[in-house]
Amino acid sequence: MSAHDAVEIITAKRDRGELSDSQIDWVVDAYTRGDVADEQMSALAMAILLNGMERREIARWTAAMIASGERMDFSSLSRPTADKHSTGGVGDKITLPLAPLVAACGVAVPQLSGRGLGHTGGTLDKLESIPGWRAALSNDEMMAQLESVGAVICAAGDGLAPADKKLYALRDVTGTVEAIPLIASSIMSKKIAEGTGALVLDVKVGSGAFMKDVARARELAEVMVALGKDAGVTTVALLTDMGTPLGLTAGNALEVAESVEVLAGGGPADVVELTVALAREMLTAAGRDDVDPADRLADGSAMDAWKAMVRAQDGDPDAALPTARESHVVVAPASGVLTRLDAMAVGMAAWRLGAGRARKEDPVQAGAGVVWHARPGDEVTAGEPLFTLHTDEPARFERALASLDGGWEVGDAADVVKQDLLIDRIA
């Protein structure tokens, strides 16, 4: 006889009880093995969404998810490690310039990334638009690349937190994605199992983010920072704005091109600002705050690290990036100032153009996406391009334009609502 059963655990959480360590260990393990059915775990996930968890419960749940698989160990590397996790947004290509930048400063970056779903783009989808680049690396290949280049961006292997993989898919189809204990344990179980020494979290807030309001985002950040601390990983979180999309592009190859501009010392100011801010946090957390990442962007060493990282994963950093077969220009209806640009509207348009996927098995178009030619506060001229939409399938333009409709406004400079990119820091 088992010490526990699923119904007893569901009932305890339904009735607002705290789950014991042994109940949590048992249910996560039994679900991973298939002894607890999907409908039972769905019921428990909904009870957790509605009734919450105490900090001890969340820490134990995270530990049980980690224990479901392997743990990586980077202690043999000749340099310290730091990683970054973003909760996802529109035009959020920050990982691409950030990993080689931090590597150029002497800290190794083991970045296990994912694919896009819905309106938020996936880092692996972006990099796969580079000819030849591959996402799948063995643990040995990852270790060798971290030692030689200092940065890896690749897919997580099946061995890390398999409980999370199973539970993540279930939350997606049962309306329980928003549960903060489950979001926090999902993110942190993978990052702690990955074995990084320091972790910086970029928790996005606003229309294009998973968390729409600052209070919920701060709660999530505080829970994740506490989980990192409990696990002995130096963890810091930045709350950053995602009401307006980042940079000037959303779409896979389009965002790679913009990232390369940043590594070349140019690029949009907001992308540079956030990349450097996160790099400074990662370096400080790893004990290397004697190096200024802005210098490494300026002297070309971050670009060298980018090219070495892409080549190490069989990509050609000098090859032309794919472009979409069709484009459509939206012009400014009047002269004035772009007062608002909604991240969600842009993200949905890029998704509908083919840059994202509705189901995880869907293909994505490398060249699809949206370019915006002005950011809020910029002057625009009647008849001049405001957006350029890119796709291989012209039938997609109509629905993408419908997504953008109402997502932007041209008016007077006085109407611009300025939001700082960096909202708060939680350590």
Q: Which residue has the higher pLDDT, 165 or 243?
A: 243
Residues 262-269 have a mean pLDDT of 97
401 falls in which pLDDT band (50, 70, 90)? very high
Judgement on whether residues 379 and 232 belong to the same structural domain of the protein: no
Q: Tens digit of pLDDT for each residue in 109-134?
A: 999 988 776 677 789 999 999 999 99
Judgement on whether residues 112 and 216 belong to the same structural domain of the protein: yes
Q: Which residues neighbour 341 within 8 Å (Cβ) at sequence distance 6 or greater?
A: 244, 245, 372, 374, 375, 376, 407, 408
Checking if the pLDDT of 62 tops 80, the result is yes
Judgement on whether residues 333 and 286 belong to the same structural domain of the protein: no
> Residue 293 and residue 274: Cα distance in Å, rounded?
12
Count CB neighbours of 307 within 10 A: 17
**What separation, in Å, do the N-terminal and C-terminal C-alpha atoms of the chain show?**
44
Checking if the pLDDT of 225 tops 80, the result is yes
Indicate whether 426 belongs to any domain: no
What sign for the dihedral angle of Cα 293, 295, 298, 303? Answer: negative
Judgement on whether residues 133 and 234 belong to the same structural domain of the protein: yes
304 falls in which pLDDT band (50, 70, 90)? very high
Domain end marker among 286, 312, 338: 312
Judgement on whether residues 48 and 87 belong to the same structural domain of the protein: no
Per-residue pLDDT, 91: 95
Closest Cα to residue 82, out of 184, 187, 194?
Answer: 194
Domain end marker among 312, 346, 377: 312
CATH number assigned to the domain comprising residue 253: 3.40.1030.10
SS3 of residue 327 by DSSP = strand
Judgement on whether residues 113 and 218 belong to the same structural domain of the protein: yes
Judgement on whether residues 306 and 335 belong to the same structural domain of the protein: no
Judgement on whether residues 308 and 330 belong to the same structural domain of the protein: no
Judgement on whether residues 331 and 277 belong to the same structural domain of the protein: no
CATH number assigned to the domain comprising residue 352: 3.90.1170.30
Per-residue pLDDT, 354: 94
The two counts, helices (H) then strands (E), for the chain are 16, 13
Token reading at 218: 């701060």
By the 8 A CB rule, do 82 and 196 touch? Answer: yes
Checking if the pLDDT of 55 tops 90, the result is yes
175 falls in which pLDDT band (50, 70, 90)? confident
Catalytic residues: 85, 164, 171, 186, 190
Q: Tens digit of pLDDT for each residue in 143-171?
A: 999 999 999 999 988 888 999 989 988 88
Per-residue pLDDT, 159: 86
CATH number assigned to the domain comprising residue 28: 1.20.970.10
Q: Which domain holds residue 255?
A: 82-156+185-312
Q: Tens digit of pLDDT for each residue in 328-356?
A: 999 999 999 999 999 999 999 999 999 98
Closest Cα to residue 214, out of 427, 419, 423?
Answer: 423
Indicate whether 168 belongs to any domain: no
Indicate whether 238 belongs to any domain: yes
Per-residue pLDDT, 118: 67
DSSP-assigned letter for residue 319:
S
> Residue 217 and residue 159: Cα distance in Å, rounded?
29
Please give the tally of structural domains in the chain: 3
pTM above 0.85, yes or no: yes
Indicate whether 395 belongs to any domain: yes
Residues 356-362 have a mean pLDDT of 77
Indicate whether 241 belongs to any domain: yes
> Residue 141 and residue 150: Cα distance in Å, rounded?
12
Indicate whether 344 belongs to any domain: yes
Judgement on whether residues 307 and 330 belong to the same structural domain of the protein: no
Per-residue pLDDT, 117: 66
Q: Which residue has the higher pLDDT, 158 or 239?
A: 239
Indicate whether 174 belongs to any domain: no
Judgement on whether residues 304 and 354 belong to the same structural domain of the protein: no
Checking if the pLDDT of 316 tops 60, the result is yes
Indicate whether 401 belongs to any domain: yes
Q: What percent of the chain has pLDDT over 70?
A: 99
CA angle 335, 341, 343 (to 5 degrees): 160
Judgement on whether residues 281 and 367 belong to the same structural domain of the protein: no
